[in-house]
Amino acid sequence: MLEQLLIFTRGGLILWTCKELGNALKGSPIDTLIRSCLLEERSGDASYNYDAPGVAYTLKWNFHNELGLIFVAVYQRILHLLYVDDLLSMVKREFSQMYDPKRTVYNDFDDVFRQLRKEAEARAEDMKRSKQAVKPVSNLSRKQLSAAAQKAGSEDGIKQKGGASGKDGGDGDFVKGRKLENGYSNGIGIEESHAPGVVKNKENGSSENGAFDVNKIQKLRSKGAKKSDTTSKAPKAEPKKKAIKKNRVWDDSPRESKLDFTDPVDERGDENITVMADQGESMMDREEIVSSESEAEEDEEAEKDNKVNAKKKGWFSSMFQSIAGKANLEKSDLEPALKALKDRLMTKNVAEEIAEKLCESVAASLEGKKQASFTRLSSTVQTAMEEALVRILTPRRSIDILRDVHVAKEQGKPYVVVFVGVNGVGKSTNLAKVAYWLLQHNVSVMMAACDTFRSGAVEQLRTHARRLQIPIFEKGYEKDPAIVAKEAIQEATRNGSDVVLVDTAGRMQDNEPLMRALSKLINLNSPDLVLFVGEALVGNDAVDQLSKFNQKLADLSTSSNTRLIDGILLTKFDTIDDKVGAALSMVYISGAPVMFVGCGQSYTDLKKLNVKVIVKTLLK
């Protein structure tokens, strides 16, 4: 049964709801659809599933882009209503005829909807009846076909036992006729060479009969034997002698050169270094200036594209179309421009799945819309894609960590940040960069060495702590990282530290034991921020990494309030040139914003993500 059907504008004004249904929806499925699907450029999907306590809805929608209307149908997921798509298209057609931008009430549409609903349900019932009427006939025919095949197989076996090998052509014709009669192969008579002497006439080249010439087979075998004899008689090349490894002569005299150039410290590494790692202002606090050269290059490229299109279409037709505009954009008109955009996004390292979904969403937003005068179709599609990319990459919530740190400080507790990610992406190094940036804002920081799995991880973090002159909490190796993090937070509370930066072991998304340990650490300590550290070099694997990290954290969570990834730290951004698509793929698949970007090897090389620059680079 249909739960609800709504018609509202893109501005959020509800024009009509079905009063006859009158069912109060549990939860907020419409708000969730707008927030999680329509605003996130996922409108190209066929449906959206909404789960709430005690209810599971499926939502389907349709757009009228020219009028700016959205039609949404809500029904119970377990019902699998077949007429919803047909009903939405009919409602869209009828309502658009009576729509007036000045009207806000459409009570007269109730009778129209009642009639449309009856028509849609009647069509669905007719389709069900037609399918049910077809099923017994098909089953009967299959039974008949299988019985005929079994009978034919038994006759074929009798013929083979009787030694009827002289009628090869007739047997072949029988097999062909049986295949045509059945219409499909059922394992009997798939090949026409059951016996060694049964082949097609074209294969052996003889027009008189369909059997092999035994003399030819014997000649071929004798030729093969001769060849093998000649190859065996050929002289074998002598194998090369293996080089004998000479014994190493060990010199017991000590080396004069010094190999260890590290600073002299004790075994705990607690020596105070007088040199503070002061490398200047962090790039997080600098305003990035965008040069106008890229804009000039884009204008030149746009002019070139326009000239090429004008040559292809002809000067007069292209000029007339740009002046008059197109009545309504259709999907076939958008496909060439969207395909070019998809290829361009994929060359910029955007995952193929994400690029395809984005193009589908842009097509859904432009289909049926009137093209403006003096504009080309390619520029219209590119403008729509640019707006979609800006909406995706712009954070939906505040990412001001300094403000959150001060709020936690007023509450008398430290602000806890957990760094997670796969192996070798630079979690420890970028943790130190974040610590350096926080120190510049007079925030007291403590590190927690919870990577008790990788050899050298504690020493690496200890080196950063000594250079930055900040405390570090460590318990060595082979300890439970969740317990280490808990004790670190307790120590920070006693010492009055404002922020605790928790370093964790790198783990692949498919490693169940390590993912279980990470879920335990997050559930036990309830950090304020879970940062996923990912490489900007990654392509299609970004989708797999983030989706599986979130899925594992949700599946392995023991608490009712599931914690997922809150933000993204993108590393090695200085090595990719214009291949910036990983940022888009990660944000699209997780919904989490990019909070930091690592762009070098020094402590100052940490900056914010400039959305406008990323969008221009993606579409360049």
Hey, CA dihedral for 51, 52, 56, 58, is it positive or negative? negative
Q: What is the tens place of the pLDDT at every residue in 332-361?
A: 888 888 999 999 999 998 888 889 989 988
Burial 579-604 (b: 16+ CB within 10 A, else e): bbbbbbbbbbbbbbbbbbbbbeeebb
Helix, strand, coil percentages in the chain from 3-state DSSP, rounded to 5: 50, 10, 40
| CB hemisphere CA count around 331 (13 angstroms) | 6
User: Which residues are 472's β-sheet partners?
Assistant: 447
In the numeric block, the tokens 């900056």 are attached to: 607
Please give the angle made by the CA atoms of 488, 493 and 497, to the nearest 5 degrees. Answer: 85
Please report, for residues 378, 390, 530, the alpha-carbon distance to residue 603 in angstroms, rounded to integers and kept in the order given: 43, 29, 21
What Rg do the C-alpha atoms of the chain give, in angstroms? Answer: 36
Please report, for residues 31, 396, 418, the alpha-carbon distance to residue 566 in angstroms, rounded to integers and kept in the order given: 21, 12, 10
- The alpha-helical segments, DSSP class H, found in 250-328 are 293-313, 315-324
Mean pLDDT of 51-62: 85
Q: Is the pLDDT of residue 455 over 80?
A: yes
In the numeric block, the tokens 């038994």 are attached to: 154
Quick check: 87 and 18 in contact, CB under 8 A? Answer: no
SS3 585: helix
- Cβ neighbours of residue 268 under 8 Å, at least 6 residues apart? none
Quick check: 435 and 464 in contact, CB under 8 A? Answer: yes
- The alpha-helical segments, DSSP class H, found in 367-472 are 377-393, 401-410, 427-440, 457-468
% the chain with pLDDT above 70: 68
Nearest alpha carbon to residue 609 among 571, 576, 575: 571
Quick check: 521 and 436 in contact, CB under 8 A? Answer: no
Q: What is the dihedral of CA 80, 81, 82, 84, to 10 degrees?
A: -130
pLDDT band at residue 576 under the 50/70/90 scheme: confident
- Output the pLDDT for position 154: 52
User: Which residues are 473's β-sheet partners?
Assistant: 448
Q: What is the tens place of the pLDDT at every residue in 378-412?
A: 888 888 899 989 988 988 887 889 999 999 999 99
- Output the pLDDT for position 438: 95
SS3 517: helix
Q: Is the pLDDT of residue 484 over 50?
A: yes
> How far is Cα 320 from Cα 313, in angstroms, rounded to an integer?
11
In the numeric block, the tokens 């819309």 are attached to: 369
> How far is Cα 23 from Cα 308, in angstroms, rounded to an integer?
56
Please report the DSSP string for 194-248 in residue order. Answer: SSTT---HHHH--SS-SS--HHHHHHHHHHHHHHHHHHHHSPPPPPPPPPPPPPP
DSSP run (H or E) holding 156: helix 109-161
pLDDT band at residue 422 under the 50/70/90 scheme: very high
pLDDT band at residue 287 under the 50/70/90 scheme: low
Q: What is the tens place of the pLDDT at every residue in 265-282?
A: 444 444 444 445 567 777
Hey, CA dihedral for 146, 150, 151, 152, is it positive or negative? positive
545-549 long-range contacts, Cβ below 8 Å, gap at least 24? 545/422, 545/509, 546/586, 546/589, 546/590, 547/589, 547/590, 548/509, 548/510, 549/420, 549/509, 549/515
Q: 143 vs 94, which has greater pLDDT?
A: 94
Please report the DSSP string for 87-120 in residue order. Answer: HHHHHHHHHHHH--TT----TTHHHHHHHHHHHH
% the chain with pLDDT above 90: 27
Mean pLDDT of 139-167: 49
DSSP run (H or E) holding 498: none
Mean pLDDT of 243-271: 54
